[in-house]
Structure 1
């Protein structure tokens, strides 16, 4: 299966502003990229790529005064299979975990394990360890929280999501991650593309999606507390402790989000029509100008994924 993914973001700044983005397909999927346009900016500016401490692909640049647009388009090959289910994947005791897993057992900005530990063990301590326990966490979070973009708040923590019982995809992920860490299961935050492939189309504006991964049976597995069923075509963009590690755009100065759109859909070469490299595919979703789900309530200078 071929999946076409991409984005276009326009921000406005009132002075030259250094920023970096984290919106390219993750380096681990480089071998799957069939075609990818270079990241384009309007106006054009010098750019420099780097890899952060979590292995994510980032791009640095300085936005000139006025409106500044960043865009990229790619076609990625995918198995076309839904997320695998491996009920025999077991938990590893902390002393048996690889060193690089230990950091994903600790509290982070949005995942307060100290405040949720007693609750986590009370809810899931008697559940069979391993895959069944993580699935029980997903089932609980999926039922506990009500999803709506109208509930977006970039400062909401896992504990607040639990108390308020509302959120967007990042809140579902944060609460599930916090519960898993409390149970000594390494868990990390993931954002990426997730199109309406194999499911009924979602009428809401398309956005980057958030889910999480846990370490079971010697490797990482994807779980999604918001949708809570296997999905086709997840394409990872970035990973971290939580959303604080993976903002789509981080600017060192104030910026205003003017327009934002994301696309992720199955690509059919036989029906593809000739188009310019800046054209977007059908069913491209547009975010509302100046008020995207991405940055509602976001700290100044940071556009977070929600």
Structure 2
């Protein structure tokens, strides 16, 4: 199937402001593009691309004084299959993990493993290691947190989400990732597009989505504690330790988000 996706964002800056942008799709999905996916700016500015330490396609800009609008629109081929489910995927012993995976066992800005380790072992120490343990964690997080756009908090950590029991998709991901890491399962944060494809549409405005991946049986597998079911049509943008590594924009100076529109939908033919 074909998916049409893109966004329009606008930032107000009182003076020229350096920014890091994580707004391109992930290099692993570029082979699926049916049209170009490039960042477009409504005014001349200095911009250049780079790959960060996690392999994400990022950009650096100097946003001029005033309002700068950034946009992209593209069409992408997707196999139309739901997230892969491998119930017998095994958990690795720590000694058998590749070196580059170890960082996804460590605590990070929003994944405060030190505060949740005792809880994790009390809840999941009896579960069979591997896929079943990750699913048990997703079941817990899905039931623990109530999704509420009005309760979004950019400073909320995984431990905070567990206590407050409310939040948005990033909170579901952070809590699940943290509990996985506490159980010695490498887990990384993912951000990207996820439209209402194969599910009933919702009334909430379209947004970017957060989910996570775990390393089991030599592969990274997708899990989504918010929806807690395999979904169709994910388009990965970036991966990292937590939301800090994949922020849409990191501003080195004053900046206000003035416009935010996201589109992702299946292309249907009459």
TM-score with structure 1 setting the length: 0.87
> Is the partner of 2:95 in helix, strand or coil?
helix
Deviations 1:190-224 (A, max 9, x none): 00000000001111011100000000111000000
Residues 161-176 of structure 1 correspond to what in structure 2 (within 5 A)?
161-176=161-176
Residue 16 (structure 1) aligns with = 16
Task: Give me the whole-angstrom Cα distance separating, in 2, the residues matched to 1:75 and 1:178.
Answer: 34
Task: Give me the whole-angstrom Cα distance separating, in 2, the residues matched to 1:102 and 1:64.
Answer: 40
> Is the partner of 2:8 in helix, strand or coil?
strand
> Is the partner of 2:210 in helix, strand or coil?
strand
Deviations 1:211-244 (A, max 9, x none): 0000011100000000000000111001000001
> Is the partner of 2:196 in helix, strand or coil?
coil
Task: Give me the whole-angstrom Cα distance separating, in 2, the residues matched to 1:39 and 1:128.
Answer: 45
Residue 54 (structure 1) aligns with = 54
Measure how far apart 1:97 and its partner are.
Answer: 0.7
Residue 112 (structure 2) aligns with = 112
Residue 130 (structure 1) aligns with = 130
Measure how far apart 1:64 and its partner are.
Answer: 1.1
Residue 91 (structure 2) aligns with = 91
Residues 142-181 of structure 1 correspond to what in structure 2 (within 5 A)?
142-181=142-181
Task: Give me the whole-angstrom Cα distance separating, in 2, the residues matched to 1:74 and 1:265.
Answer: 11
> Is the partner of 1:89 in helix, strand or coil?
coil
Task: Give me the whole-angstrom Cα distance separating, in 1, the residues matched to 2:101 and 2:168.
Answer: 26
Task: Give me the whole-angstrom Cα distance separating, in 1, the residues matched to 2:5 and 2:211.
Answer: 18
Give the total of aligned pairs. Answer: 270
Residue 219 (structure 2) aligns with = 219
Measure how far apart 1:74 and its partner are.
Answer: 1.1
Q: Which structure's relative contact order is higher, taking Cα pairs within 8 Å and 6+ residues apart? A: 2
Deviations 1:274-296 (A, max 9, x none): xxxxxxxxxxxxxxxxxxxxxxx
The unaligned stretches of length 5 or more in structure 2 are: none
Residue 292 (structure 1) aligns with = none
Residue 76 (structure 2) aligns with = 76
Residues 190-269 of structure 1 correspond to what in structure 2 (within 5 A)?
190-268=190-268
> Is the partner of 1:179 in helix, strand or coil?
helix
Evaluate the alpha carbon distance shift between residue 243 and residue 68 of structure 1 in structure 2; reply closer, same or farther with a 3 A threshold. Answer: same
Task: Give me the whole-angstrom Cα distance separating, in 1, the residues matched to 2:37 and 2:124.
Answer: 46
> Is the partner of 1:11 in helix, strand or coil?
strand
Task: Give me the whole-angstrom Cα distance separating, in 2, the residues matched to 1:144 and 1:122.
Answer: 16
Task: Give me the whole-angstrom Cα distance separating, in 2, the residues matched to 1:37 and 1:188.
Answer: 25
Task: Give me the whole-angstrom Cα distance separating, in 1, the residues matched to 2:98 and 2:53.
Answer: 17
The unaligned stretches of length 5 or more in structure 1 are: 272-306
Task: Give me the whole-angstrom Cα distance separating, in 1, the residues matched to 2:223 and 2:20.
Answer: 28
Task: Give me the whole-angstrom Cα distance separating, in 2, the residues matched to 1:143 and 1:38.
Answer: 39
> Is the partner of 2:46 in helix, strand or coil?
coil
- 8 A Cα contact 2:24 2:38, kept in partner: no
Task: Give me the whole-angstrom Cα distance separating, in 2, the residues matched to 1:180 and 1:160.
Answer: 16
Measure how far apart 1:46 and its partner are.
Answer: 2.9
TM-score with structure 2 setting the length: 0.98
Task: Give me the whole-angstrom Cα distance separating, in 1, the residues matched to 2:115 and 2:45.
Answer: 45
Residue 281 (structure 1) aligns with = none
